[in-house]
Structure formats: C-alpha cells, structure tokens
C-alpha cells in the first residue's frame, strides 16, 4: 500500500513537471504557423548568426517596410523582422508608432553585419538611425538581442527561406 502511494505521488509529480516543461517550451517559442497568424500575409523564415536562430518575418514590399513593427505591443525574444531592400544604401530607421525597445542590425548584400543600434527606445522618435556603411537588409529584434548573444559588426547572418 505504501509503495502504491509512493508510486502514485512520484508519478503525479513527474507528470506535472513534464506538463510544465511542455507548456513553457510551447509558450516561449513561436512556430512558423503562429508567426503566420501574428503576421498574416508576410513570408516567414529563419536567420542564424553566431549559432543563435531567430524566426523571422520578411518585410519586402514598400507597405510591409513602412509598417514594420509599428503598432505591435511586443515581439518575442526568438522573433525578428527582416527588412529586404532592392539595393544597398544607408537606409534610415526610426521608432514611429513603436511600443517597445528594439535592436536594429544592418546587414550588407553578403549578409555581413555592418552596423548595430542597441536597445533603441520608442521615445527616441523622431531621431533617425542610419548605418556607417551601405546595407541591403535590416534586422529588428527585441532589445538586448545583440548584447545577449555577442552579435558583432563583421558577423555573418545565414537566412533561410529567402
């Protein structure tokens, strides 16, 4: 009888731990399908830099680039918006309609990081942030992403589903 109670107790504890782990993992990581529902009509993919993988949403059209992350309440840590421009240039970015701080990472046509602005806050608007070198892509992530992951100018980004 004692062995049965002990078995049931520890079995229940194990089930709770497993259920909690599954819930935590599913709530902390966005899947491509959840990204597609959060960003309907946008193409999704992934980006890897310094062995860190991000789910990304592509902003390829003028309308998508203009909207950006504006008017969104948050951005999960494992998600970024990847702005694609037709040619390399020193594209300026600002925090119009932003509700949370972000990192801005400019990337050239060879996918080399050429400029980083860290933890840019919404109250910085109307200041415009521009890179020191031409870039064809800009990655916006949650604030602190670059620092937390040791992202540096010169690092190479690998983009899938591009």
Whether residue 57 has a cis bond before it, omega within 30° of 0: no
57 DSSP β-pair partners:
44, 81
The pLDDT of residue 28 is 41
Mean pLDDT of 51-69: 96
**pTM for the predicted model, two decimal places:** 0.78
The answer to which of 13-27, 32-46, 124-138 has the lowest mean pLDDT is 13-27
Percent of the chain surpassing pLDDT 70: 78
The pLDDT of residue 162 is 75
| Structure confidence by residue, pLDDT tens digits, 63-118 | 999 999 998 999 999 999 999 999 999 999 999 999 999 999 999 999 999 999 99
Written in H, E and C, the secondary structure of the chain is: CHHHHHHHHHHHHHHHHHHHHHHHHHHHCCCHHHHHHHCCCCCEEEEEECCEEEEEEEECCHHHHHHCCCCCCCCCCCEEEEEEEEEEECCCECCCCCCCCEEEEEECCCCEEEEEEEEECHHHCCCCECCCCCEEEEEEEECCHHHHCCCCCCCECEEECC
Question: For the chain, what is the mean pLDDT?
Answer: 86
The pLDDT of residue 22 is 43
Would you say residue 134 has pLDDT above 50? yes
Q: Categorize the per-residue pLDDT at 59 as very low, low, confident or very high, splitting at 50, 70 and 90.
A: very high
The pLDDT of residue 24 is 40
Would you say residue 33 has pLDDT above 80? no
The pLDDT of residue 40 is 85
Q: Categorize the per-residue pLDDT at 21 as very low, low, confident or very high, splitting at 50, 70 and 90.
A: very low
């Amino acid at each position: 009888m004692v062995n049965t109670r002990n078995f049931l107790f520890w079995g229940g504890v194990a089930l709770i731990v497993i259920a909690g782990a599954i819930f935590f993992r599913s709530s902390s990581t966005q899947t491509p399908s959840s990204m597609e529902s959060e960003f309907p009509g946008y193409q999704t993919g992934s980006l890897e830099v310094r062995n860190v993988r991000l789910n990304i949403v592509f902003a390829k059209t003028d309308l998508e680039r203009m909207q950006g992350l504006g008017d969104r309440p948050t951005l999960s840590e494992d998600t970024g918006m990847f702005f694609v421009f037709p040619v390399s240039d020193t594209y300026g970015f600002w925090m119009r309609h932003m509700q949370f701080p972000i990192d801005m990472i400019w990337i050239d046509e060879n996918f080399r990081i050429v400029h980083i602005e860290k933890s840019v806050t919404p109250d910085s608007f109307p200041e415009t942030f521009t890179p020191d070198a031409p870039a064809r892509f800009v990655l916006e992530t949650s604030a602190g992403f670059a620092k937390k992951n040791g992202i540096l100018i010169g690092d190479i980004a690998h983009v899938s589903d591009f």
